[in-house]
Amino acid sequence: MPNPFRVEGDWYKGNLHTHTNNSDGEFSPEKVIEGYKKNGYDFLAITDHGKVTEVEEYSEEKFLLLPGIEIGVDKSSLGTTYHLVAINVEKKIEVPREIRVQEGIDFLKEKGGEVILAHPYWSGLTMEELLSLERYLGIEVYNSTCLRGIGKGLSSIYWDALLAKGKLNWGFAVDDAHFHYADGYKGWIMVKSSGLTKERIISSIKKGLFYSSSGPRIKEVSFDGKRVYVRSSPVKVINFICDDAKGRSIWNEKGREFSEAEFELKGKEKYLRVECVNKNGETAWTNPLFLEGREDFF
Protein backbone atom coordinates (compact mmCIF):
# COMPACT_ATOMS: atom_id res chain seq x y z
CA MET A 1 0.00 0.00 0.00
CA PRO A 2 1.34 3.47 -0.75
CA ASN A 3 2.23 5.67 2.22
CA PRO A 4 0.19 8.92 2.20
CA PHE A 5 2.79 10.47 4.51
CA ARG A 6 5.51 9.91 1.93
CA VAL A 7 3.86 10.68 -1.43
CA GLU A 8 3.95 14.19 -2.87
CA GLY A 9 0.90 16.40 -2.51
CA ASP A 10 -1.16 18.42 -0.06
CA TRP A 11 -3.61 17.34 2.65
CA TYR A 12 -7.31 17.96 2.04
CA LYS A 13 -10.01 17.52 4.69
CA GLY A 14 -13.38 16.08 3.72
CA ASN A 15 -16.54 14.30 4.81
CA LEU A 16 -18.04 11.64 2.55
CA HIS A 17 -21.45 11.05 4.18
CA THR A 18 -23.92 13.93 4.64
CA HIS A 19 -27.68 14.44 4.36
CA THR A 20 -29.76 17.48 3.44
CA ASN A 21 -33.49 18.22 3.46
CA ASN A 22 -33.57 16.59 0.04
CA SER A 23 -33.95 13.41 2.13
CA ASP A 24 -34.12 13.34 5.95
CA GLY A 25 -31.56 16.01 6.87
CA GLU A 26 -32.45 19.21 8.73
CA PHE A 27 -30.92 21.79 6.40
CA SER A 28 -30.91 22.77 2.71
CA PRO A 29 -27.90 21.73 0.59
CA GLU A 30 -26.76 25.38 0.52
CA LYS A 31 -26.77 25.67 4.31
CA VAL A 32 -25.00 22.31 4.77
CA ILE A 33 -22.28 23.30 2.27
CA GLU A 34 -21.83 26.69 3.97
CA GLY A 35 -21.37 24.95 7.33
CA TYR A 36 -18.62 22.65 6.07
CA LYS A 37 -16.85 25.56 4.38
CA LYS A 38 -16.89 27.55 7.63
CA ASN A 39 -15.52 24.57 9.54
CA GLY A 40 -12.37 24.32 7.45
CA TYR A 41 -13.29 21.46 5.11
CA ASP A 42 -11.95 21.27 1.55
CA PHE A 43 -14.44 18.79 0.10
CA LEU A 44 -17.81 17.24 0.86
CA ALA A 45 -20.02 14.48 -0.52
CA ILE A 46 -23.78 14.95 -0.19
CA THR A 47 -25.28 11.47 0.11
CA ASP A 48 -29.04 11.76 0.46
CA HIS A 49 -31.12 8.61 0.80
CA GLY A 50 -32.17 7.09 -2.53
CA LYS A 51 -31.37 10.12 -4.69
CA VAL A 52 -28.45 12.15 -5.96
CA THR A 53 -28.72 15.76 -4.79
CA GLU A 54 -27.14 17.84 -7.53
CA VAL A 55 -24.55 20.03 -5.86
CA GLU A 56 -21.57 20.04 -8.20
CA GLU A 57 -22.50 23.56 -9.32
CA TYR A 58 -21.47 24.73 -5.83
CA SER A 59 -17.89 23.54 -6.35
CA GLU A 60 -15.31 26.32 -6.20
CA GLU A 61 -11.57 26.47 -6.60
CA LYS A 62 -11.15 25.93 -2.85
CA PHE A 63 -14.18 23.76 -2.08
CA LEU A 64 -15.07 20.59 -3.92
CA LEU A 65 -18.49 18.92 -3.98
CA LEU A 66 -18.66 15.23 -4.83
CA PRO A 67 -21.90 13.69 -6.07
CA GLY A 68 -23.09 10.89 -3.82
CA ILE A 69 -25.98 8.76 -2.64
CA GLU A 70 -26.91 6.39 0.18
CA ILE A 71 -29.15 3.45 -0.62
CA GLY A 72 -30.82 0.91 1.66
CA VAL A 73 -31.00 -2.59 0.20
CA ASP A 74 -31.71 -6.17 1.12
CA LYS A 75 -32.20 -7.55 4.62
CA SER A 76 -29.55 -8.85 6.98
CA SER A 77 -30.15 -11.99 9.05
CA LEU A 78 -31.44 -9.74 11.83
CA GLY A 79 -33.92 -8.14 9.45
CA THR A 80 -32.09 -4.80 9.21
CA THR A 81 -31.32 -3.05 5.93
CA TYR A 82 -27.82 -2.76 4.52
CA HIS A 83 -26.86 0.87 3.88
CA LEU A 84 -24.44 1.58 1.03
CA VAL A 85 -22.85 4.97 0.49
CA ALA A 86 -21.48 5.70 -2.98
CA ILE A 87 -19.43 8.70 -4.06
CA ASN A 88 -18.82 9.88 -7.62
CA VAL A 89 -22.08 8.43 -8.95
CA GLU A 90 -24.03 9.58 -12.01
CA LYS A 91 -26.56 12.36 -11.53
CA LYS A 92 -29.67 10.32 -12.21
CA ILE A 93 -30.09 6.99 -10.51
CA GLU A 94 -33.16 4.77 -10.44
CA VAL A 95 -32.42 2.48 -7.53
CA PRO A 96 -33.82 -0.96 -8.34
CA ARG A 97 -36.10 -2.50 -5.73
CA GLU A 98 -35.74 -5.92 -4.23
CA ILE A 99 -32.06 -6.45 -4.89
CA ARG A 100 -29.52 -8.29 -2.82
CA VAL A 101 -26.76 -6.29 -1.14
CA GLN A 102 -24.03 -7.48 -3.54
CA GLU A 103 -26.26 -6.52 -6.48
CA GLY A 104 -26.60 -3.09 -4.86
CA ILE A 105 -22.81 -2.69 -4.74
CA ASP A 106 -22.51 -3.85 -8.36
CA PHE A 107 -25.30 -1.47 -9.42
CA LEU A 108 -23.58 1.54 -7.78
CA LYS A 109 -20.25 0.55 -9.39
CA GLU A 110 -21.97 0.47 -12.80
CA LYS A 111 -23.14 4.04 -12.16
CA GLY A 112 -19.53 5.14 -11.65
CA GLY A 113 -19.68 5.02 -7.87
CA GLU A 114 -17.11 3.98 -5.27
CA VAL A 115 -18.93 2.14 -2.51
CA ILE A 116 -18.46 2.41 1.24
CA LEU A 117 -20.26 0.00 3.59
CA ALA A 118 -22.03 2.36 5.99
CA HIS A 119 -22.17 1.97 9.78
CA PRO A 120 -22.08 -1.86 10.09
CA TYR A 121 -22.45 -1.69 13.91
CA TRP A 122 -25.56 0.50 13.73
CA SER A 123 -26.97 -1.82 11.03
CA GLY A 124 -26.44 -4.89 13.24
CA LEU A 125 -24.55 -6.80 10.56
CA THR A 126 -22.77 -10.01 11.41
CA MET A 127 -19.13 -10.62 10.48
CA GLU A 128 -20.19 -13.38 8.09
CA GLU A 129 -22.51 -11.05 6.22
CA LEU A 130 -19.78 -8.46 5.85
CA LEU A 131 -17.17 -11.03 4.83
CA SER A 132 -19.26 -12.24 1.90
CA LEU A 133 -19.26 -8.85 0.13
CA GLU A 134 -16.95 -7.76 -2.70
CA ARG A 135 -16.08 -4.72 -4.83
CA TYR A 136 -16.43 -2.01 -2.19
CA LEU A 137 -13.76 0.47 -1.17
CA GLY A 138 -14.04 0.20 2.59
CA ILE A 139 -16.21 0.49 5.67
CA GLU A 140 -17.15 3.33 7.96
CA VAL A 141 -14.86 2.77 10.91
CA TYR A 142 -16.44 5.79 12.63
CA ASN A 143 -19.89 7.30 12.08
CA SER A 144 -20.70 10.42 14.11
CA THR A 145 -24.49 10.34 13.93
CA CYS A 146 -24.61 6.63 14.85
CA LEU A 147 -22.37 7.31 17.84
CA ARG A 148 -24.36 10.31 19.06
CA GLY A 149 -27.73 8.72 18.26
CA ILE A 150 -27.47 5.25 19.81
CA GLY A 151 -23.83 4.80 20.85
CA LYS A 152 -22.99 2.52 17.91
CA GLY A 153 -20.57 4.63 15.91
CA LEU A 154 -17.39 2.61 16.08
CA SER A 155 -17.00 -0.35 13.69
CA SER A 156 -13.27 -1.03 13.95
CA ILE A 157 -13.84 -4.64 15.04
CA TYR A 158 -15.49 -5.36 11.66
CA TRP A 159 -12.59 -3.69 9.87
CA ASP A 160 -10.12 -5.94 11.69
CA ALA A 161 -12.14 -9.06 10.88
CA LEU A 162 -12.05 -8.16 7.17
CA LEU A 163 -8.33 -7.37 7.20
CA ALA A 164 -7.49 -10.53 9.15
CA LYS A 165 -9.30 -12.51 6.45
CA GLY A 166 -7.13 -10.82 3.81
CA LYS A 167 -9.84 -8.49 2.53
CA LEU A 168 -8.08 -5.23 1.76
CA ASN A 169 -10.32 -2.26 2.45
CA TRP A 170 -10.03 1.28 3.77
CA GLY A 171 -11.47 2.73 6.99
CA PHE A 172 -13.51 5.92 6.70
CA ALA A 173 -14.48 8.33 9.50
CA VAL A 174 -17.66 10.17 8.51
CA ASP A 175 -20.31 12.44 10.02
CA ASP A 176 -23.42 10.99 8.34
CA ALA A 177 -24.64 14.42 9.46
CA HIS A 178 -28.38 15.05 9.52
CA PHE A 179 -28.07 18.07 11.87
CA HIS A 180 -31.11 17.07 13.97
CA TYR A 181 -28.54 17.07 16.77
CA ALA A 182 -24.84 18.02 16.92
CA ASP A 183 -23.52 15.28 14.63
CA GLY A 184 -21.65 17.52 12.16
CA TYR A 185 -17.88 18.18 11.86
CA LYS A 186 -16.98 15.20 14.06
CA GLY A 187 -15.51 12.59 11.66
CA TRP A 188 -13.47 13.23 8.53
CA ILE A 189 -10.75 11.96 6.24
CA MET A 190 -7.47 13.72 5.43
CA VAL A 191 -6.57 12.94 1.84
CA LYS A 192 -3.11 13.38 0.32
CA SER A 193 -3.63 14.57 -3.24
CA SER A 194 -1.86 16.51 -5.98
CA GLY A 195 -4.85 18.85 -6.24
CA LEU A 196 -8.43 19.58 -5.25
CA THR A 197 -10.25 18.18 -8.28
CA LYS A 198 -12.81 15.39 -8.36
CA GLU A 199 -10.51 13.14 -10.39
CA ARG A 200 -7.49 13.64 -8.11
CA ILE A 201 -9.34 13.34 -4.80
CA ILE A 202 -11.22 10.19 -5.92
CA SER A 203 -8.00 8.69 -7.28
CA SER A 204 -6.22 9.26 -3.94
CA ILE A 205 -9.14 7.85 -1.96
CA LYS A 206 -9.22 4.73 -4.14
CA LYS A 207 -5.50 4.18 -3.47
CA GLY A 208 -6.00 4.57 0.30
CA LEU A 209 -3.94 7.78 0.40
CA PHE A 210 -5.71 9.15 3.44
CA TYR A 211 -6.21 8.72 7.16
CA SER A 212 -9.40 9.11 9.17
CA SER A 213 -9.95 11.17 12.30
CA SER A 214 -12.45 12.32 14.89
CA GLY A 215 -9.87 14.67 16.43
CA PRO A 216 -6.12 13.90 16.43
CA ARG A 217 -3.75 14.74 13.62
CA ILE A 218 -1.28 12.19 12.35
CA LYS A 219 1.87 13.97 11.21
CA GLU A 220 4.12 11.13 10.13
CA VAL A 221 4.07 7.39 9.59
CA SER A 222 7.19 5.64 8.43
CA PHE A 223 7.70 1.95 7.98
CA ASP A 224 10.75 0.08 6.74
CA GLY A 225 9.09 -3.32 6.60
CA LYS A 226 10.01 -4.11 10.21
CA ARG A 227 9.80 -0.97 12.35
CA VAL A 228 6.86 1.45 12.36
CA TYR A 229 7.24 5.02 13.60
CA VAL A 230 4.27 7.33 14.21
CA ARG A 231 4.15 11.02 15.14
CA SER A 232 0.85 12.73 15.98
CA SER A 233 -0.73 15.62 17.84
CA PRO A 234 -0.68 15.01 21.64
CA VAL A 235 -2.48 11.73 22.48
CA LYS A 236 -2.90 9.34 25.41
CA VAL A 237 -2.75 6.06 23.50
CA ILE A 238 -1.20 4.83 20.29
CA ASN A 239 -2.41 1.40 19.20
CA PHE A 240 -0.54 -0.75 16.72
CA ILE A 241 -3.32 -3.09 15.65
CA CYS A 242 -2.56 -6.42 14.00
CA ASP A 243 -4.41 -9.69 13.40
CA ASP A 244 -5.45 -11.76 16.46
CA ALA A 245 -3.35 -11.10 19.60
CA LYS A 246 -0.36 -9.51 17.87
CA GLY A 247 0.22 -5.77 18.04
CA ARG A 248 0.72 -3.40 20.97
CA SER A 249 -0.97 -0.57 22.84
CA ILE A 250 1.37 2.22 23.93
CA TRP A 251 0.30 4.44 26.87
CA ASN A 252 1.78 6.15 29.86
CA GLU A 253 1.13 4.84 33.37
CA LYS A 254 0.96 8.38 34.75
CA GLY A 255 -1.56 9.29 32.07
CA ARG A 256 0.81 11.72 30.38
CA GLU A 257 0.26 12.75 26.80
CA PHE A 258 2.85 11.96 24.17
CA SER A 259 3.14 12.39 20.44
CA GLU A 260 5.29 9.64 19.00
CA ALA A 261 5.66 5.89 19.26
CA GLU A 262 7.46 2.99 17.63
CA PHE A 263 6.65 -0.64 17.12
CA GLU A 264 8.73 -3.48 15.80
CA LEU A 265 7.01 -6.26 13.92
CA LYS A 266 7.79 -9.83 14.83
CA GLY A 267 7.35 -10.97 11.26
CA LYS A 268 4.18 -13.07 11.42
CA GLU A 269 1.71 -10.17 11.31
CA LYS A 270 -0.84 -10.33 8.49
CA TYR A 271 -1.56 -6.63 8.59
CA LEU A 272 -0.93 -3.55 10.69
CA ARG A 273 -2.84 -0.33 11.17
CA VAL A 274 -2.36 2.48 13.70
CA GLU A 275 -4.80 4.31 15.98
CA CYS A 276 -3.97 7.49 17.92
CA VAL A 277 -6.41 8.30 20.76
CA ASN A 278 -6.41 11.68 22.54
CA LYS A 279 -7.53 12.58 26.07
CA ASN A 280 -11.14 13.11 24.88
CA GLY A 281 -11.28 9.65 23.35
CA GLU A 282 -11.14 11.12 19.85
CA THR A 283 -9.19 8.91 17.48
CA ALA A 284 -7.20 8.98 14.25
CA TRP A 285 -6.95 5.81 12.17
CA THR A 286 -4.35 5.05 9.50
CA ASN A 287 -5.26 2.68 6.73
CA PRO A 288 -3.53 -0.72 6.86
CA LEU A 289 0.17 -0.39 6.18
CA PHE A 290 0.33 -3.75 4.51
CA LEU A 291 -1.68 -6.84 3.96
CA GLU A 292 -0.18 -10.32 3.92
CA GLY A 293 2.26 -10.69 1.07
CA ARG A 294 1.91 -7.08 0.00
CA GLU A 295 4.54 -5.17 1.96
CA ASP A 296 4.79 -2.18 -0.32
CA PHE A 297 4.20 0.66 2.15
CA PHE A 298 7.38 2.65 1.60
- CB 85 to Zn ion: min, Å: 7
Binding site for Zn ion (CB under 5 A): 70, 83, 118, 176
Shortest Å, Cβ 18 to Zn ion: 8
CB of 221 to Zn ion, least distance (A): 30
The minimum distance between CB 186 and Zn ion, in angstroms, equals 14
Q: Which is nearer to Zn ion, 107 or 240 (CB)?
A: 107
User: CB of residue 187 vs Zn ion: minimum separation in angstroms?
Assistant: 12
Closest to Zn ion by CB, 66 or 118: 118
In the complex with Zn ion, the residue whose CB is nearer, 121 or 223, is 121
Question: What is the number of alpha carbons within 13 Å of residue 231 lying toward its C-beta?
Answer: 4
From the CB of 68, what's the least distance to Zn ion, in Å? 10
Q: Which is nearer to Zn ion, 26 or 295 (CB)?
A: 26
Can you give the three-state secondary structure of the chain, one letter per residue? CCCCCCCCCEEEEEECCECCCCCCCCCCHHHHHHHHHHCCCCEEEECCECCCCCCHHHCECCEEEEEEEEEEECCCCCCCCEEEEEECCCCCCCCCCCCCHHHHHHHHHHCCCEEEECCHHHHCCCHHHHHCCCCCCEEEEEEHHHHHHHCCCECHHHHHHHHHCCCCCEEEEECCECCCCCCCCCCEEEEEECCCCHHHHHHHHHHCCEEEECCCCEEEEEECCCEEEEEEEEECEEEEEECCCCEEEEECCCCCCEEEEEEECCCCCCEEEEEEECCCCCEEEECCCEECCECCCC
Residue 146 or 261 with smaller CB distance to Zn ion: 146
Residue nearer to Zn ion on the CB measure, 118 or 191: 118
